[in-house]
A and B are shown apart, each in its own frame.
Chain A
Amino acid sequence: MFLSLALVLLGACLGSLCALIPALHIYNVAGLAVLWLVANPGSVAPEALASFFMGLIVGYAFCNTIPAVFLSAPDDSTIFVVLPAQRYLLEGRGYEAVLLTALGGAGGLLALIGLVPIAPYLLPPLRAVTQPHIHWMLGVIIVFMLMSEWPRGGTYGSPWRRWWGAWRSLLAGWLTFLLSGLLGLVLMYRTPVPVEMAYQNLLPAFVGLFAFPALLIALFTETRLPPQHLSPSLDVTPDLALRGVAAGVMGGLFAAFFPIVTGGIGGFLAGHATAQRDTRLFIIGQGANKVVYYVGSYLLFFVPNLHLARGGMASMISTVFTAYTPATYYSLVAGMAFAGVIALGVLQIFARIFARLAPHLPQRALSGVTLLIMVGIVGWLTGWGGLAVAGVATAIGLIPILWGSRRMNCLGVLLLPVTLNMAGWGSVVAQWLGLI
């Protein structure tokens, strides 16, 4: 038990630290741990790795808000935080924005703990009921994602110019979805990533779609941030916080439970489902959503009678560890709570440091160095093939930024191939593309 808690502590600290590095996803760090375990079998007990991973994911889920807010470098689960957080940042309230997400995250973690006793009884039948319908549910999510973006602008000029002005960002969004989806099919059927690193197959695509475009844009733009105020309290009422947490938990749970639906999509759906318009509530909701998504999807793998491998972390631990007894589940829940306390504390420290440093940070240089590090990591792990994928993904990821459409459309990389496969059409499209 002591070793388990020590590993959770280590994981939480490491996860929190890694979260500060823009574009470095915790799944990459966990992937290295798996690689090390495969190369040195028996050196670490797999259950110890499970505890370590719990610490990592909790630390990351809390602290990844910091680069998203202060450096505008989101991952796929924090893309919606960037815009409202930017507004807070330019008003000198970046620290408060981070703490609002932390409040949501803490609420999300409490909600997960509350669900722990009933999950083994509730989730297995829920899975059995939903399993045969997942393909059309994913299809509906895709349609909603694409249809819920409206034409905007287009008020001047000839009818053609007006139409183009209104629809161009929408069309760019659809093209983003299509191209990223086709890229996903390539990765699924004929990936250029070496077979010995197949478990990191999506790494170059995700880095390319989400991290590199933001870093490239940051290289060519200079944002001067005002001094950040370290607020001693938060501009939020308990009622508002509760509503934000509830919306975020809904989205996070949906994303954690359903395959392929990531935290970003979960947050997007929950936002629409609850029709919340208050920015504070939105930020709290996004904070709760990403913590519930990341931690919840990992925890699902240990739920007795369920053992659902959702999300990258669960997928990785499932290759080396099987939880045979409920004791593992409850001990990891304890680890989760412990890691949550650590991560919350660490987050406040880091947020203070970043709030003080942010106005003075050489953003361009930071983006350049991060870009080089990430190119190195992608190249080291996935070779030239992975770099080629990352290059194409970066070009696709630039489209929504330059055309002002939703970056979430990049999640077509997962949604499209998996939905097509579940519907039985994946292989048909792959054949059209000459992949099989």
Chain B
Amino acid sequence: MPLCPSCGRPADAGNTCPHCGASLTLRLPLKILRYASLVLAVSGFIALLYMVQGAPVPQLKVSTISAVNNLAYVALAGRVTQAHYNAEQQSLSFQVLDDTGEIAVTAFRAEAEALIAAGRVPAVGDAVTVAGTLRVRDDFLGLTLNTVEALSLTSPTPTPLLINAITPDLELHAIEITARFIESREPFPGLVLLTLQDATGVIEVAFDESARLLTGDLPLLPPESVVRVRGIVTLFKERPQVTLTSNRHLELLPPDTVLELATEPTTLTPLAAAQLGAVAKVAGEITAVESFSTGFRFTLSDDTGSIALVVPLKMYPEISGTADLRLGAQVEAYGLVSLFNGEREIAPPAATAVILRQPSALTRTVTSIAELTLSHLRQTVTLSGTITAIDSFSSGKRLTLDDGTGSITVLIWSNVLAYVPDAARLTREQTVTLTGRVEHYRGQLELVPQLGFDVTVH
């Protein structure tokens, strides 16, 4: 007797099983499940593929990466700070710095070779966007580049500069210098340092083993030859140097090339347009003055912007009309434009490069000491009164000024004191008028004149 395929009990011929009621004739063969599994697997995979194809690669900041992101496929954007090629392991690695932290990106064998072949090896200073697999270890954070296409890089356009304009502020900026080759040395195997000099200074150019392996040897440079170098400013022991990322970025110029000197430009440049690294001629009104241990910084302003005119201590007395070089004066100057603490400044090559066009027409209103409050902090004010006490110290003089409404300490640094007319008369009971910046020291307001000519002894 045939058995019911569903319950396994004997079932007579008929359409349904008398025990369980299952159909005996219209049944789905189980093998259909086999084919269904194939269809399901293939169509499911295609659907998954379709789902992920359009999905964007998540972009992370370095500081947000943690253990839970290990093995994630992510994108990062930043600037290359170091690059290294390991010929033995055929790997390329580079450090990428974003605004939150740094990560090591590595391309192994095939990808490294493909990057080299495509001439897309990231170099120091390049802006990169890179996608890859994160490797998070307790002591290491890395990203593995799986394909050349996952790396996009933009090499910065180099700014032509004179050597003196290359400051630590320009770290990781691309620059171009034209200078005379002085000497070459190899402090340790694999690192070549070239010393270059132009009219404004001397700098070292570094060419490391990775760059040599990837691009070839540097050309032989005859002594005193003139070269043009395109590189990235890096710091060695806080001092700027130029890192050469390819041998093609060093160009040996014809033997008769004459180095351009920092000559006076013929036309005036609006302050906003004064290019970093160029010798520019500018004009403007002195809108702020600051003395520092080695000189004076005058902020020049025009309708377009402002720039700092830095006058070294030695040069200051040699400038024609020094006494009138004060707040409100109109000045014309030329010099090398460089960057310091993120601000452009102009350094005149000689005292003759600074011309006083028009003395200050500002009327100095005397403020009473009693009126001074914390709201005047860092502002320039003029006070007038009698010296009631005087105290000399190694770096200057500290006066106590009384105008009848109150008293205040006046601090005159020695580099400022040196230019005070009749400084010898700065004695007790003497009446003086002083213009200076209001500072705050140990809970007290004090006045700090920035220029000697801002101190008048009556």
Query: Do the two shown chains form a genuine complex with each other?
Result: yes
Please tell me if the beta carbons of A320 and B74 are within 8 angstroms of each other in the complex: no
Complex Cα spacing A151 to B192, Å: 65
Which of the candidate stretches B47-55, B93-101, B424-432 sits at the interface with the other chain? B47-55
Please tell me if the beta carbons of B139 and A195 are within 8 angstroms of each other in the complex: no
Complex Cα spacing A434 to B48, Å: 12
Which of the candidate stretches B62-70, B214-222, B411-419 sits at the interface with the other chain? B62-70
Whether B259 sits at the interface, judged by CB under 8 Å, is: no
Binary flags per residue of B122-141, CB closer than 8 Å to A gives 1, else 0: 00000000010110111100
Known: A388-B48, A389-B48, A424-B109. A46 touches B138 (CB 8 A): yes
Whether A35 sits at the interface, judged by CB under 8 Å, is: yes
Binary flags per residue of A181-200, CB closer than 8 Å to B gives 1, else 0: 01100101111100111110
Residues 50-99 of B at the A interface (beta carbon under 8 Å): 51-53, 55, 57-58, 60, 66-74
Please tell me if the beta carbons of A391 and B44 are within 8 angstroms of each other in the complex: yes
Which of the candidate stretches B35-43, B182-190, B364-372, B392-400 sits at the interface with the other chain? B35-43
Please tell me if the beta carbons of B40 and A427 are within 8 angstroms of each other in the complex: no
Give the distance to chain B from A359, nearest Cβ to Cβ, in Å. Answer: 20
Give the distance to chain B from A17, nearest Cβ to Cβ, in Å. Answer: 25
**A201 contacts which chain B residues (CB < 8 A)?**
71-72
User: Of the candidates B38, B53, B60, B109, which one forms a contact with A190 in the assembled complex, judged by CB atoms under 8 Å apart?
Assistant: B53
Please tell me if the beta carbons of B72 and A179 are within 8 angstroms of each other in the complex: no
A-B contact count (CB 8 A): 138
Residues 421-436 of A at the B interface (beta carbon under 8 Å): 421, 423-427, 430-431, 433-436
Whether A54 sits at the interface, judged by CB under 8 Å, is: no
Which of the candidate stretches A224-232, A337-345, A397-405 sits at the interface with the other chain? A397-405
Binary flags per residue of B335-361, CB closer than 8 Å to A gives 1, else 0: 000000000000000000000000000
User: Of the candidates B47, B49, B52, B69, which one forms a contact with A196 in the assembled complex, judged by CB atoms under 8 Å apart?
Assistant: B69
Residues 344-365 of A at the B interface (beta carbon under 8 Å): none
Give the distance to chain B from A169, nearest Cβ to Cβ, in Å. Answer: 10
Please tell me if the beta carbons of A396 and B66 are within 8 angstroms of each other in the complex: no
**A316 contacts which chain B residues (CB < 8 A)?**
67, 70
User: Of the candidates A189, A322, A421, which one forms a contact with B73 in the assembled complex, judged by CB atoms under 8 Å apart?
Assistant: A189
Known: A190-B53, A198-B72, A199-B71. A430 touches B146 (CB 8 A): yes
Interface size classification for chain A: 35 or more
**B57 contacts which chain A residues (CB < 8 A)?**
190
Whether A392 sits at the interface, judged by CB under 8 Å, is: yes
Give the distance to chain A from B286, nearest Cβ to Cβ, in Å. Answer: 54
**A320 contacts which chain B residues (CB < 8 A)?**
67, 138
Specify the chain B residue showing the minimal Cβ separation from A436: B147
Whether B27 sits at the interface, judged by CB under 8 Å, is: no
Known: A183-B48, A190-B55. A199 touches B138 (CB 8 A): no
Specify the chain A residue showing the minimal Cβ separation from B114: A424
Secondary structure call for the A interface = helix
Complex Cα spacing A106 to B147, Å: 45
Whether B110 sits at the interface, judged by CB under 8 Å, is: yes
Whether B13 sits at the interface, judged by CB under 8 Å, is: no
Specify the chain B residue showing the minimal Cβ separation from A31: B68
Complex Cα spacing A199 to B138, Å: 14
Please tell me if the beta carbons of B41 and A396 are within 8 angstroms of each other in the complex: yes
Known: A175-B38, A431-B147. A190 touches B111 (CB 8 A): no
Complex Cα spacing A195 to B110, Å: 26
Please tell me if the beta carbons of B137 and A195 are within 8 angstroms of each other in the complex: no
Please tell me if the beta carbons of A195 and B67 are within 8 angstroms of each other in the complex: no
Whether A372 sits at the interface, judged by CB under 8 Å, is: no
Please tell me if the beta carbons of A421 and B146 are within 8 angstroms of each other in the complex: yes
Whether B253 sits at the interface, judged by CB under 8 Å, is: no
Give the distance to chain B from A434, nearest Cβ to Cβ, in Å. Answer: 5
Whether A223 sits at the interface, judged by CB under 8 Å, is: no
Specify the chain B residue showing the minimal Cβ separation from A196: B68
**B133 contacts which chain A residues (CB < 8 A)?**
188
Whether B34 sits at the interface, judged by CB under 8 Å, is: yes
Please tell me if the beta carbons of A392 and B138 are within 8 angstroms of each other in the complex: no
Whether B45 sits at the interface, judged by CB under 8 Å, is: yes
Complex Cα spacing A421 to B139, Å: 25
User: Of the candidates B38, B55, B71, B139, which one forms a contact with A322 in the assembled complex, judged by CB atoms under 8 Å apart?
Assistant: B139
Please tell me if the beta carbons of A190 and B68 are within 8 angstroms of each other in the complex: no
Binary flags per residue of B283-309, CB closer than 8 Å to A gives 1, else 0: 000000000000000000000000000
Whether B272 sits at the interface, judged by CB under 8 Å, is: no
Complex Cα spacing A319 to B52, Å: 27
- Which residue, of B51, B134, B148, has the highest number of chain A Cβ atoms within 10 A? B51
11 contacts between A and B (CB under 8 A): A190-B73, A191-B72, A196-B69, A197-B68, A201-B72, A319-B70, A320-B138, A392-B44, A427-B149, A430-B146, A436-B146
A-B pairs with lowest CB-CB distance, top 10: A424-B110, A198-B72, A427-B147, A319-B67, A395-B41, A392-B44, A395-B40, A190-B52, A199-B70, A322-B138
Q: In the complex, given contacts A319-B70, A395-B41, what are 17 additional A-B residue pairs having Cβ atoms less than 8 angstroms apart?
A: A34-B68, A189-B146, A190-B53, A191-B72, A196-B68, A198-B134, A199-B69, A201-B72, A318-B137, A320-B138, A391-B44, A398-B37, A421-B146, A424-B110, A427-B146, A434-B49, A435-B53
